Amino acid sequence: MDETLRQSGIEIIDDVPWGTHFCQFYQTRQDLLDILLPYFKTGLEHNEFCMWVACEPLSAKEALEAFRQYLPGLDRYRATGQLEIIPHTDWYLKGGGFDSQRVLNGWVEKLDRARAQGFDGLRLTGNTFWLEKKDWKDFVAYEEEVNHVIGQYRMIALCTYSVDGCSAAKVIDVVSNHQFALSKRDGKWALIESSEHKRAMEAVKASEAKYRSLFDNMIDGFAYHRVVTDAAGKPADYVFLEVNSAFEQLTGLKGAEIIGRGAREALPGIEKDPADWIGVYGRVALTGKEARFERYSAQLGKWYSVLAYSPKQGYFVTVFEDITERKRAEEALRRSYEELEQRVQERTVELTRANEELETEIAERLQAVEDLRRANAYNRSLIEASLDPLVTIDAGGKITDVNLATQEATGLSRSELIGTDFSSYFTEPEKAQAGYLQVFREGSVKDYPLEIRHRSGGSTPVLYNATVYRDEAGKVLGVFAAARDITERRETERRITVTNDLLKLYTRKFSHKEYLDVAVELVRAWSGCRHIGVRIVDDKGNIPYEACAGYNPEFLRSENELSLTNDRCICIRVIAGTPEFRERAAMTPHGTFFCNDTTKFVSELTDKQKTQYRAVCMQHGYTSLAVVPIRHRERIIGAVHVADERPGMVTPRNVEFIEQLSFIIGEAIVRFGIEEELRQLNRELEHRVADRTAQLEAANRELEAFAYSVSHDLRSPLRSIDGFSHAILEDYAPLLDDTGRGYFERVRAAAGKMGQLIDALLNLSRLTRGELNRASIDLSPLATAVAEDLKRAEPGRRAEFVIGKKVVAEGDAVMLRVVVENLLSNAWKFTAKREAARIEFGTLECTLHSRDALVNAGVNGMRNAESGMKSPERCGQGKTVYFVRDNGAGFDMAYAGKLFSAFQRLHSREEFPGLGIGLATVQRIIHRHGGTLWAEGAVGKGATFFFTL
């Protein structure tokens, strides 16, 4: 039922939906009454709040009078506040003038209040006779607004306009702002409808008709009601609002006669019916809780099965069927059953009485026995229910009782066990005996470890708790012993040990191969499987066994040939991650294939499937088989292969654990792989360094040997030159004139010079051989001593030595002495022509600051020179820089590169005598110390030699 569709009460309109806004053109008071009285009567009867805003020519008072005459029960509605008739001055013009917004809000407020009071909506009318010309425009706007928004509200509005007050233009205004209009034509009311409204109404009607037919064709009766409550809010009656044809058939009531009427009226006496229809339905309508029941209606003389529910507060729907026939049949059945029951009961009473006496007697006798049995059974069931093997032993160590768990642990029955030696069921009978003797002696033992032997050969590790038990007099009767199976605990401990051992292997410096060998042995010892192998994918795509134990050599030979790409077998597919469909069923989520009966597995394959297996494992009799992939990150890098001749050796739990281990193994393999690669690289690098060093050393040795041998060989002829010149001068002098003797003197002098040169060369060569003994040396006293020697040799010179205090160096004492001597002698020699020579020896810290100091000292302004192309900027932060500075002849930086080469001279020998080998020697020594030597200078401006060590 479309509840937005309301009866209009107006003959030519029939039903309209909520939100209808229409108008009436009238001429007389009677015109108004013709339409408005049935309009409001219908509204009142359908629980709508009705509001009549009256105006001339029909005042509020007149309207009320006319309505009272038309509807005798009208005051009842007024009393409940369902009807208000008020003058237009109290509504439209309230507050002095027309305000469209206030009026609109007023309607909405009225509607809200009406809804709050339980009314379905608001039905209203307003007369516009009061409208003056000045208000017309506002009112048209108001009507337009009403027309626009009324669709949202549960409101029906009828506006009445006097035909005489409307010009043609006004008529158009009015009609266009309403959905339709009523107007009298030829003494009859007619409808003026806009085409749009018409179409909408037709659509509504069509759907209504469709719905209606569905509704009427229902087999179940259907009725829609509104509950009427009394002053206390209790349900007092209900009004029929809608019924379908099935309702009429099932009740015999006619819809036309009862709709709009109360149940008390339609079904007299209903309020007294013990079924309490009004109360039941009232509760449904008021609480919203649906009810289902079967009930007899006294008024209709029928049984009904009813479903009542409330679509909204205060309303309810009943859907029901007539079950009178069924009820009658049930009633007949019930009666005949009752009769039968009656007869059985009578018979039973007789029998019972006879039995009772007998039973009393038996019961009394049994009671005593029963009490005892019950207590025993309870205790017994406790013992049997125990998962722990329980046993009682007598003083002689014989078993007196066992429970089920003991039978399971030994594989022997109760009768086989009782009366036999307790200790004979353990792997260590003496220890078992010692145990129960201890109990007899001390009263109890706790956590006594033993292993129960099973007849099949297996054993169960247990911990025993046992105590003695006594009779009432306190005499010891025997021992009660309870064992706790610790297989699980021990297995967990073993797993932890295996895991820890594997992890520990990491830290030891094993090679990859050593690691896998130990890992294989660990898994083998833990799993009890005879054949364990670790296969790793190599760079050729083969999967050889990197480590294994227990396989025979032929098996390994054939397996090690396998390549990931060419061969077909389960190991390969596990590692490649491409199992066959058939295998997936035997695989774990980790990707492990395992099978506890390979023969059975293969026998279930089709011939075609068999070609996918090499069956090498099977040929070697491996019945239990598992291939656990070894992963590193997500990549499969190999597999652990587990095999055994006995079936059932790879349980899912064991497989799961090997899977866990495989992660550790995978990680280790990769780690060892990387380490080995690094070691290999290091070895190669070291090799290359060593080779290169050896080459360089050999080259150096050769060079030195060459230098030595050259200088050595030079001495021999030189000795002849010097020796024979000497002999001539000594023995043959009188045979020569002065010039001849002079020439021989020159030969001798030249030979002497050459001897010195050769000695210097030999010294230079010697310096680069031999050990370098580093120590911390204070160079200051050394430099001072050298300075003293120099000054003593030429006492006539004016020279100042400025020697820094505590100039400490790390190096070879002998060699550093040579450095200081050479540099100071050099400075001494080249300042010979200065009026006042100044020679400094000291240190600088090579920092940014010290470089500034160098610049300030005027030395960095000159270009620096050193044969090794090093410069102070590159000497390294924080390193000590030693320097010897003089104000001597200096040198041209353009030739700075030649400074440190042996026998190179920048000045003529006549100007500054010397061998030209001192600085070369200094440079060799500095280089041997891993240091740097460089010089700065300018012609006539002195020179500074810097070095680091």
* Window of 590-598, 635-643, 712-720, 821-829 that interacts with another protein by CB under 8 A: 712-720
Query: Using CB under 8 A, which of 411, 673, 755, 916 touches another protein?
Result: 755
Query: Using CB under 8 A, which of 29, 78, 454, 715 touches another protein?
Result: 715
Question: Whose Cβ is closer to another protein: residue 721's or residue 785's?
Answer: 721
Is residue 849 involved in binding another protein (CB under 8 A)? no
In the complex, what is the shortest distance from the CB of residue 758 to another protein, in angstroms, rounded to a whole number?
8
Under 8 Å between Cβ of 145 and 100: yes
Is residue 752 involved in binding another protein (CB under 8 A)? yes
3-state secondary structure (DSSP) of residue 654: helix
In the complex, what is the shortest distance from the CB of residue 715 to another protein, in angstroms, rounded to a whole number?
5
Question: Whose Cβ is closer to another protein: residue 298's or residue 762's?
Answer: 762
Applying the rule CB under 8 A, the residues between 270 and 329 that interact with another protein are: none
In the complex, what is the shortest distance from the CB of residue 732 to another protein, in angstroms, rounded to a whole number?
12
In the complex, what is the shortest distance from the CB of residue 747 to another protein, in angstroms, rounded to a whole number?
13
Query: Using CB under 8 A, which of 45, 248, 451, 722 touches another protein?
Result: 722
* Window of 212-220, 708-716, 812-820, 826-834 that interacts with another protein by CB under 8 A: 708-716
Please name the residue that has the structure tokens 């037919």.
213
Annotate 317-356 with DSSP letters as a single string: EEEEEE-HHHHHHHHHHHHHHHHHHHHHHHHHHHHHHHHH
CA distance 170 to 614: 104
CA distances from 808 to 405, 778, 813, 822, 845 (A): 89, 4, 11, 18, 13
User: Which H or E run includes 760?
Assistant: helix 738-767
940 φ/ψ angles, rounded to the nearest 5 degrees: 80, 0
Cα 504-505-506 angle, rounded to 5 deg? 85
In the complex, what is the shortest distance from the CB of residue 752 to another protein, in angstroms, rounded to a whole number?
7
| Structure token pair of residue 792 | 């003593």
Is residue 94 involved in binding another protein (CB under 8 A)? no
Question: Whose Cβ is closer to another protein: residue 418's or residue 714's?
Answer: 714
Is residue 712 involved in binding another protein (CB under 8 A)? yes
Is residue 81 involved in binding another protein (CB under 8 A)? no
Query: Using CB under 8 A, which of 342, 552, 716, 877 touches another protein?
Result: 716
In the complex, what is the shortest distance from the CB of residue 814 to another protein, in angstroms, rounded to a whole number?
15
Is residue 733 involved in binding another protein (CB under 8 A)? no
User: Which H or E run includes 936?
Assistant: strand 933-937
CA distance 329 to 332: 5
Is residue 876 involved in binding another protein (CB under 8 A)? no
Question: Whose Cβ is closer to another protein: residue 105's or residue 720's?
Answer: 720
* Window of 136-144, 379-387, 575-583, 715-723 that interacts with another protein by CB under 8 A: 715-723
In 3D, which of 757, 756, 765, 755 has the Cα closest to residue 716? 755
Question: Whose Cβ is closer to another protein: residue 749's or residue 808's?
Answer: 749
Question: Whose Cβ is closer to another protein: residue 267's or residue 757's?
Answer: 757
In the complex, what is the shortest distance from the CB of residue 917 to another protein, in angstroms, rounded to a whole number?
18
Cα 298-300-306 angle, rounded to 5 deg? 85
In the complex, what is the shortest distance from the CB of residue 894 to another protein, in angstroms, rounded to a whole number?
39
Is residue 701 involved in binding another protein (CB under 8 A)? no
| Structure token pair of residue 545 | 């066994």
List Cβ neighbours of 7 (8 Å cut-off, separation of 6 or more): 14, 15, 42, 46
Query: Using CB under 8 A, which of 726, 834, 838, 927 touches another protein?
Result: 726
Is residue 477 involved in binding another protein (CB under 8 A)? no
In the complex, what is the shortest distance from the CB of residue 727 to another protein, in angstroms, rounded to a whole number?
6
In the complex, what is the shortest distance from the CB of residue 502 to another protein, in angstroms, rounded to a whole number?
59
In the complex, what is the shortest distance from the CB of residue 720 to another protein, in angstroms, rounded to a whole number?
4
Question: Whose Cβ is closer to another protein: residue 62's or residue 704's?
Answer: 704
Strands ordered across the beta sheet of 799-803: 799-803, 837-845, 880-886, 943-947, 933-937, 864-865
CA distance 865 to 883: 14
HSE-up of residue 873 (Cα within 13 Å, Cβ side) = 6
Please name the residue that has the structure tokens 């030159």.
721
Is residue 724 involved in binding another protein (CB under 8 A)? yes
Question: Whose Cβ is closer to another protein: residue 74's or residue 754's?
Answer: 754
Is residue 719 involved in binding another protein (CB under 8 A)? yes
* Window of 442-450, 503-511, 688-696, 709-717 that interacts with another protein by CB under 8 A: 709-717
In the complex, what is the shortest distance from the CB of residue 919 to another protein, in angstroms, rounded to a whole number?
24
User: Which H or E run includes 227?
Assistant: strand 221-229
Question: Whose Cβ is closer to another protein: residue 378's or residue 724's?
Answer: 724
- CB atoms closer than 10 angstroms to residue 94: 15
| Structure token pair of residue 755 | 């001897």
CA distance 135 to 143: 12
Is residue 829 involved in binding another protein (CB under 8 A)? no
In the complex, what is the shortest distance from the CB of residue 735 to another protein, in angstroms, rounded to a whole number?
17
* Window of 563-571, 719-727, 825-833, 836-844 that interacts with another protein by CB under 8 A: 719-727
For residue 668, with 0-12 CB atoms within 10 Å meaning exposed, 13-18 middle and 19 or more buried, which class applies? Answer: buried
Query: Using CB under 8 A, which of 340, 344, 377, 727 touches another protein?
Result: 727
What is the torsional sign of CA 669, 670, 676, 677?
positive
Question: Whose Cβ is closer to another protein: residue 472's or residue 731's?
Answer: 731
Is residue 744 involved in binding another protein (CB under 8 A)? no
Question: Whose Cβ is closer to another protein: residue 748's or residue 898's?
Answer: 748
Annotate 16-69 with DSSP letters as a single string: EETTEEEEEEESSHHHHHHHHHHHHHHHHHTTEEEEEEEBTTB-HHHHHHHHHH
Is residue 415 involved in binding another protein (CB under 8 A)? no
Is residue 750 involved in binding another protein (CB under 8 A)? no
Is residue 27 involved in binding another protein (CB under 8 A)? no
Annotate 458-482 with DSSP letters as a single string: -EEEEEEEEEEEE-TT--EEEEEEE
Is residue 687 involved in binding another protein (CB under 8 A)? no
* Window of 30-38, 426-434, 595-603, 711-719 that interacts with another protein by CB under 8 A: 711-719
The secondary structure of residue 756, as a DSSP letter, is: H
Is residue 706 involved in binding another protein (CB under 8 A)? no
* Window of 157-165, 287-295, 607-615, 713-721 that interacts with another protein by CB under 8 A: 713-721
CA distance 192 to 224: 33
Is residue 659 involved in binding another protein (CB under 8 A)? no
Residues in the interface with another protein (CB under 8 A) total: 14
| Structure token pair of residue 126 | 């307003």
* Window of 245-253, 311-319, 353-361, 717-725 that interacts with another protein by CB under 8 A: 717-725
Under 8 Å between Cβ of 935 and 944: yes
3-state secondary structure (DSSP) of residue 634: coil
Site string for another protein, 757-776 (x = CB under 8 A): -----x--------------
Is residue 732 involved in binding another protein (CB under 8 A)? no
In 3D, which of 825, 783, 782, 926 has the Cα closest to residue 868? 926
CA distance 889 to 941: 6
Question: Whose Cβ is closer to another protein: residue 15's or residue 704's?
Answer: 704
Q: How far is CA 575 from the centre of its chain?
A: 28
The one-letter amino acid code at 564 reads L
**Binding region for another protein (CB under 8 A):** 712, 715-717, 719-720, 722-724, 726-727, 752, 755, 762
